[in-house]
Amino acid sequence: MSSSSFTTRLAQELGLIKEQNLQRQLRCVEKITGAEVVIYGKKLWNFSSNDYLGLANHPALQEAAGRAMRDFGFGATASRLVCGTTSEHAKLEEAIAEAKQTEAALCFSTGYAASSGVLPILMGRGDVVLLDKLAHASLVDGARQSKATLRVFRHNDTNQVEEQLQWARKRSPHGTIMMITESIFSMDGDVAPLQKIVELKERYDALLLLDEAHAIGVRGKPRNRMGGLAGELGLSKKVDLQMGTLGKAVGAAGGYIAGSRQLIDYLLHRARSFVFSTAPPPAVAAAARAGLAIINSEEGEARAEQLWKNIASFQSKIGQSHSAEGAILPILLGEEKISLAAAKHLWEQGFYIPAIRYPTVPRGGARLRVTLSSVHTELILEQLSQAISQFASSELTSSSF
Ligand X SMILES: *Cc1c(COP(=O)(O)O)cnc(C)c1O
Contact residues: ligand X, CB under 6 A:
110-112, 136, 138, 182, 186, 211, 213-214, 245, 247, 255
Residue 126 CA to its chain's centroid (Å): 29
DSSP three-state, residue 199? helix
Measured at CB, which residue is nearest to ligand X? 111
CB of 199 to ligand X, least distance (A): 23
Count CB-CB contacts under 10 A for residue 32: 15
Q: Tell me, yes or no, if 156 is annotated catalytic.
A: no
- Give one DSSP letter per residue of 318-380, joined into a string: HT--SPPSSSEEEEEEESHHHHHHHHHHHHHTTEE-PEE-TTTS-TT-EEEEEE--TT--HHH
Task: Give the residue with the Cβ less far from ligand X, 267 or 387.
Answer: 267
DSSP three-state, residue 242? strand
Q: Tell me, yes or no, if 136 is annotated catalytic.
A: yes
Task: Give the residue with the Cβ less far from ligand X, 102 or 110.
Answer: 110
Catalytic one of 116, 183, 186, 236: 186
Catalytic one of 88, 93, 182, 188: 182
Report d(CA 128, CA 144) in Å as an integer.
Answer: 11
Task: Give the residue with the Cβ less far from ligand X, 80 or 136.
Answer: 136
What CA–CA distances, in Å, run from 205 to 46, 145, 197, 199, 307? 44, 23, 12, 10, 37
Task: Give the residue with the Cβ less far from ligand X, 111 or 282.
Answer: 111
Report d(CA 401, CA 392) in Å as an integer.
Answer: 6
CB of 116 to ligand X, least distance (A): 9
Catalytic one of 100, 201, 214, 376: 214
Catalytic one of 51, 211, 301, 336: 211
Task: Give the residue with the Cβ less far from ligand X, 274 or 401.
Answer: 274
CB of 136 to ligand X, least distance (A): 4
Q: Tell me, yes or no, if 214 is annotated catalytic.
A: yes
Task: Give the residue with the Cβ less far from ligand X, 178 or 338.
Answer: 178
Strand order in the sheet with 149-153: 104-108, 255-259, 241-245, 207-211, 177-182, 128-132, 149-153
Q: b/e per residue, 195-230, with b = 16+ CB within 10 A?
A: eebbebbeebebbbbbbbbbbbbbbbbeebbbbbbb
- Give one DSSP letter per residue of 43-67, joined into a string: EEEE-S---TTS-TT-HHHHHHHHH
- Give one DSSP letter per residue of 14-49, joined into a string: HHHHHHTT-------EEEEETTEEEETTEEEEE-S-
CB of 254 to ligand X, least distance (A): 7
297 contacts: CB under 8 Å, gap ≥ 6: 223
Closest CA to 224 of 174, 290, 294: 294
Task: Give the residue with the Cβ less far from ligand X, 143 or 213.
Answer: 213
CB of 138 to ligand X, least distance (A): 5
First-last CA distance in the chain: 47
Q: Tell me, yes or no, if 345 is annotated catalytic.
A: no
CB of 321 to ligand X, least distance (A): 26
Q: Tell me, yes or no, if 211 is annotated catalytic.
A: yes
Task: Give the residue with the Cβ less far from ligand X, 129 or 380.
Answer: 129
For the chain, the residue count is 401
CB of 213 to ligand X, least distance (A): 3
CB of 210 to ligand X, least distance (A): 10
Catalytic one of 58, 89, 201, 248: 248
**Catalytic (active-site) positions:** 50, 136, 182, 186, 211, 214, 248
